[in-house]
């Protein structure tokens, strides 16, 4: 870091990530990442980071990204669940950072779930 501008840019990025992870009980979209031991071992940390980074980058409002413990399907980790008010939960499985970005782009921003990443598509 060599200037005040760089420090301010870092601060703004961190604040955007914190806002994206703020689970303040709003009635917007909730994205939950399974972060139990199995999820972390399968790569859930980069998935969580990719989700928060993409939400912040796109300046998407009314979306929170949180973490939870075991979701119960260890063989499909990392797992990401999307909860939208008035809609059924969508469970994404075997998510990586690239898939996380597509989930934000297609599902969160454009309202079209990425069916090929869901639990039903993988187990069939």
Tens place of pLDDT per residue across the chain (124 aa):
678 888 888 888 777 666 655 545 556 899 999 999 999 999 999 999 999 999 999 999 889 999 999 999 999 999 999 999 999 999 999 999 999 999 999 999 999 999 999 987 765 5
CATH code of the domain containing 65: 3.40.30.10
Q: Does the pTM exceed 0.85? A: no
d(CA 91, CA 30): 12
Rounded distance between C-alpha atoms, residue 124 and residue 121, angstroms: 6
Bin 88: left if φ > 0, else alpha if -120 < ψ < 50, else beta: beta
pLDDT at residue 123, rounded to an integer:
57
Which pairs with CB-CB distance under 8 Å and at least 24 residues apart come from 65-68?
Answer: 65/20, 65/21, 65/31, 65/32, 65/33, 66/21, 66/23, 66/30, 66/31, 66/32, 66/33, 67/32, 67/33, 67/34, 67/35, 68/32, 68/33, 68/34, 68/35
Please give the residue range of the domain that contains residue 101: 4-123
What is the total count of domains within the chain?
Answer: 1
Prior bond of 77 cis (ω within 30°): no
The predicted pLDDT at position 114 comes to 97
How confident is the model at residue 122, as a pLDDT? 67
E strand segments, the chain:
29-34, 63-68, 80-83, 90-92
Confidence at residue 26, expressed as pLDDT on a 0 to 100 scale: 57
Q: What is the pLDDT of residue 23?
A: 47
């Amino acid at each position: 870091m060599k200037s005040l501008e760089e420090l301010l840019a870092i601060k703004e990025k961190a604040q955007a990530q914190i806002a994206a992870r703020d689970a303040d009980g709003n009635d917007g979209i909730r994205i939950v990442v399974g972060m139990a031991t199995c999820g972390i071992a399968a790569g859930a940390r980069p998935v969580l980071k990719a989700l928060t980074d993409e939400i912040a980058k796109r300046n998407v409002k009314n979306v929170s990204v949180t973490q939870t413990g075991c979701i119960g399907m260890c063989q499909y980790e990392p797992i990401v669940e999307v909860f939208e008010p008035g809609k059924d939960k969508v469970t994404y499985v075997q998510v990586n950072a690239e898939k996380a970005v597509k989930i934000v782009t297609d599902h969160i921003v454009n309202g079209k779930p990425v069916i090929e990443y869901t639990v039903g598509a993988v187990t069939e």
